[in-house]
Amino acid sequence: AQSVTQLGSHVSVSEGALVLLRCNYSSSVPPYLFWYVQYPNQGLQLLLKYTSAATLVKGINGFEAEFKKSETSFHLTKPSAHMSDAAEYFCAVSAPTGANNLFFGTGTRLTVIP
Amino acid sequence: DTAVSQTPKYLVTQMGNDKSIKCEQNLGHDTMYWYKQDSKKFLKIMFSYNNKELIINETVPNRFSPKSPDKAHLNLHINSLELGDSAVYFCASSSRGVPTEAFFGQGTRLTVV
C-alpha cells in the first residue's frame, strides 16, 4: 500500500524567502512520487515527478524536490518565493504496477507574505 | 484546446436527485479517473478506466457509477444524491505505462442542498 504524509497544513513565507514543503512517503515497492499545485478554483497541475532516475528532480516555476530513500522523504523546495506561488500543494505517490492511481497527501497551503 | 474538460463547473441540486458530470480528454490517453476532493481539500481516487474497462473501484457507494462511451470520455453518474456528496469532483487522464503523470480537469463543484 502507498501513502504520503505532508507535514504542516499551512506554511507562510516572506517573498524572496526559501520555500520548504515536507512530504514523507510509505510504500511497499519503489514508489513514483509527484508534487502537484492547485491554484484557487482550479484543477491540479504537475510541478515535478520522481521516476527512479535522478534523485534531485527539477520542475516548473523554479521548484525542485529531492528523493531521499533513507528518510522516505520527497520535500519540495524553491530558493525564493514569489507572490504567485501562493497555492495549495499536494504530494502524491503511485505504485509502478497496476492502475497508476495517485494517492495524495492532505495538502499544504502556501501563503507568501509581501 | 483544453486537455481535460469537465462539465458543468458548478452543480447545485437537491437531495435525492440524480445527476451526471461529463468529462472529455483530447490527449489520446488510455486511462481516465475520477477523484473526489472534500471540504478539507483531501483528494481520493474514486474510479479509473482503462480502454473502457473498469480496472479499479474504490469503496465508493454504488450510487456512483462511471460510464465510458469511448476512451476519450468518462462520465460520472450519481443517483439519489446525499448532503455528504457535496465536494469537488475532478476528472483526470493519463497514458499507459509507468511512470505516468495525470492531467486534471478544472473540477466540478457539486453542492447538494
A41 in the Ramachandran plot: left (φ > 0), alpha (ψ -120 to 50) or beta?
left
Question: What are the tens digits of pLDDT across the range A2-17?
Answer: 889 999 999 999 999 9
Whole-number pLDDT of residue A77: 98
Three cell numbers, residue B111: 453542492
Three cell numbers, residue B98: 509507468
What residue in A sits closest to B58 (Cα-Cα)? A101
pLDDT band at A53 (very low <50, low <70, confident <90, very high): confident
Residue B100 forms contact with A (CB below 8 Å): yes
Are the C-beta atoms of B90 and B105 separated by less than 8 Å?
A: yes
Handedness of CA B49, B53, B59, B64 (dihedral sign): positive
Identify any residues that bridge with B55 across adjacent strands, giving them in sequence order: none
Residue A84 phi, psi dihedral angles, 5° rounding: -70, -10
Q: Which of B9, B41, B93 is the best residue to mutate to test the A interface, defined by the most A CB atoms within 10 Å of its own CB?
A: B41
Q: How much is the mean pLDDT over chain B? A: 90
Note whether A104 contacts B100, CB cutoff 8 Å. Answer: no
A79: cis peptide before it, omega within 30°? no
Question: What are the tens digits of pLDDT across the range A57-98?
Answer: 999 999 999 999 999 999 999 999 999 999 999 999 987 665
